[in-house]
Amino acid sequence: MSTHLDKFSSATSLLTGFVLCIALSNGIVATSDKPNIIIIMADDLGFDDVSFRGSNNFLTPNIDALAYSGVILNNLYVAPMCTPSRAALLTGKYPINTGMQHYVIVNDQPWGLPLNETTMAEIFRENGYRTSLLGKWHLGLSQRNFTPTERGFDRHLGYLGAYVDYYTQSYEQQNKGYNGHDFRDSLKSTHDHVGHYVTDLLTDAAVKEIEDHGSKNSSQPLFLLLNHLAPHAANDDDPMQAPAEEVSRFEYISNKTHRYYAAMVSRLDKSVGSVIDALARQEMLQNSIILFLSDNGGPTQGQHSTTASNYPLRGQKNSPWEGALRSSAAIWSTEFERLGSVWKQQIYIGDLLPTLAAAAGISPDPALHLDGLNLWSALKYGYESVEREIVHVIDEDVAEPHLSYTRGKWKVISGTTNQGLYDGWLGHRETSEVDPRAVEYEELVRNTSVWLQLQQVSFGERNISELRDQSRIECPDPATGVKPCLPLEGPCLFDIEADPCERSNLYAEYQNSTIFLDLWSRIQQFAKQAHPPNNKPGDPNCDPRFYHNEWTWWQDEKASSSGTIGVMKVFTLLVVFIFTSSCIN
């Protein structure tokens, strides 16, 4: 099997080389006036698990330094689970419009992001960027065509499925008895990194990517998507994993699971520092946009729970509430006129494609019909006046139909997940166990290399205490009083500006009003036009035991080797034709 894959990979690399040469000769590759774009995405990080929100339970000084130096995105909305969130990021579309709205892709399921969808990576690569994905994919692995290097990324180092063990890079699907290795360098499975902690491994790969890019003084800008595993739980038999020396820093935390969670987040925080240091060493900071976010809220309870906290928000991952949908995020660029600020504009993860494209002078093809809005000007100048409509989720699954929709300050919820198990206020802010470094919090942040490096290229005083206060989410008693929402019994309506913790259900007061009827009509319009979910049941042919204990694109592997040989023959004829034509001309 590996022989055929190696041949295919070599063929692909050679063809890529031909295409790049043609692009260079025609002046397609962009010059360095386009900004480098670095996106660092955490997996299942709780809203309150970055200390710039105000918690002192465990600190994240590097992420905080990035936030205070740049712009804190106080209202960045994501999808409630991994697969739909990543689909929205890469397509600029609501998951309901790509069929990615229901649950996630389980490793044994033969489906993925539809091949007719254009990804952010494809758009940036077509406009001269080198594109690199490090870490998690989770948008399909059953066919090779679903995987990252077939969807616009020049390189992928990481795993294709939902998650892996932090050291063995294996994924175990216990309910089916499947267990296999899932880690690749582009199309080739690699065991070179077994035994290395994945967070550090991906960090080192990001640093090397930046150093290679800088050392070549490339006129080709860099698009780097660093999709961390951290702090997602690993396999069920050993979900919480971190290096011993990192865990030892949090001995003051009595709960072992939470101690490990703090260590996992801490290692993630160090990764952010290492990436920014690498950009600084290569003198790339001045012309870079750096974004940090989480793909969805943290799981406090239930499957893959980690003690993550979305305090003070309601709900958690895989629910229709704010605790699933709001991401703690920050962005930095020298282009911003209000560095050191808290931006309260609502922004959706699907807006990032057109917004970052605009920053690079790229206009996506209108034929793509993006749902995302270009908010670059608003972000650049600090405007907060765009009324954003966001379809968080419309899932008409028979077992648990539910929806969550926001327009401006109004939010509608109907139905829920898991019979309402995640409908409460699950996370809390721990105040009895405090990080010893908290007594010198501001000094800690100001002494990070992140702070020092960013200050060198973006001057200006920052009031850390004031910014930390502004980024807190407060939940005062609603002026309308506490009015319960029971989404399994009827719709709920919230004024999310006045009531971000979703404590006062206003449906009874507004159910016959123009406000609610207009919202409900809009929801029904979206539901009627929604793409059917792409989900498919598990396929036993995926079993890694059939493929040398590797998770691989089993639908392709089932075909005979003649398929690969046929591809090679076609490729050889193509190369001969190109070469002959160039000689004749």
Q: pLDDT tens digits, residue range 275-289?
A: 999 999 999 999 999
Count of alpha carbons within 13 angstroms of residue 530, beta-carbon side: 25
> Which H, E and C letters describe 398-445, residue by residue?
CCCCEEEEEECCEEEEECCCHHHCCCCCCCCCCCCCCCHHHHHHHHHH
Give the range among 36-40, 429-433, 474-478 with minimum mean pLDDT: 474-478
Q: Classify residue 311 as exposed, middle or buried by CB count within 10 Å of its CB (0-12, 13-18, 19+).
A: buried
CATH of the domain at 400: 3.40.720.10
More confident residue, 218 or 499: 499
With respect to residue 488, please indicate whether it lies within any of the assigned structural domains.
Answer: no
With respect to residue 483, please indicate whether it lies within any of the assigned structural domains.
Answer: no
Q: How confident is the model at residue 32 (pLDDT cuts 50, 70, 90)?
A: low
Number of domains in the chain: 1
State the Cα–Cα distance between residues 77 and 225, nearest whole angstrom: 18
With respect to residue 19, please indicate whether it lies within any of the assigned structural domains.
Answer: no
- Structure confidence at residue 558 (pLDDT): 72
* pLDDT at position 176 over 60: yes
State the Cα–Cα distance between residues 263 and 257, nearest whole angstrom: 10
With respect to residue 30, please indicate whether it lies within any of the assigned structural domains.
Answer: no
DSSP H/E element including 179: strand 178-181
DSSP 8-state secondary structure symbol assigned to residue 530 = P
With respect to residue 339, please indicate whether it lies within any of the assigned structural domains.
Answer: yes
Q: How confident is the model at residue 480 (pLDDT cuts 50, 70, 90)?
A: confident
Going by C-beta distance under 8 Å and a sequence separation of 6 or more, which residues neighbour residue 536? 109, 110, 111
With respect to residue 362, please indicate whether it lies within any of the assigned structural domains.
Answer: yes
Among 582, 544, 576, 557, smallest CA distance to 180 is for 544
User: How far, CA to CA in Å, does 545 sit from each of 2, 144, 163, 369?
Assistant: 15, 18, 19, 42
- How far apart are the two ends of the chain, measured CA to CA in Å? 40
What is the three-class DSSP state of 449?
A: helix
What average pLDDT is seen over the chain?
A: 91
Average pLDDT rounded to a whole number, residues 328-344: 97
- Structure confidence at residue 458 (pLDDT): 87
- Structure confidence at residue 459 (pLDDT): 78
- Per-residue pLDDT tens for 349-405? 999 999 999 999 999 999 999 999 999 999 999 999 999 999 999 999 999 999 999
Domain span at residue 402? 35-473
DSSP 8-state secondary structure symbol assigned to residue 204 = H
With respect to residue 192, please indicate whether it lies within any of the assigned structural domains.
Answer: yes
* pLDDT at position 302 over 90: yes
- Structure confidence at residue 573 (pLDDT): 38
What is the three-class DSSP state of 533?
A: coil
Share of the chain above pLDDT 70, in %: 90
With respect to residue 252, please indicate whether it lies within any of the assigned structural domains.
Answer: yes
- Structure confidence at residue 217 (pLDDT): 65
Give the range among 295-299, 452-456, 480-484 with minimum mean pLDDT: 480-484
* pLDDT at position 21 over 90: no
Average pLDDT rounded to a whole number, residues 538-565: 81
State the Cα–Cα distance between residues 1 and 547, nearest whole angstrom: 8
* pLDDT at position 129 over 50: yes
What Rg do the C-alpha atoms of the chain give, in angstroms? 24
Query: φ, ψ for residue 543 (rounded to 5)?
Result: -45, 115
DSSP 8-state secondary structure symbol assigned to residue 498 = T
CB atoms within 10 A of CB 393: 25
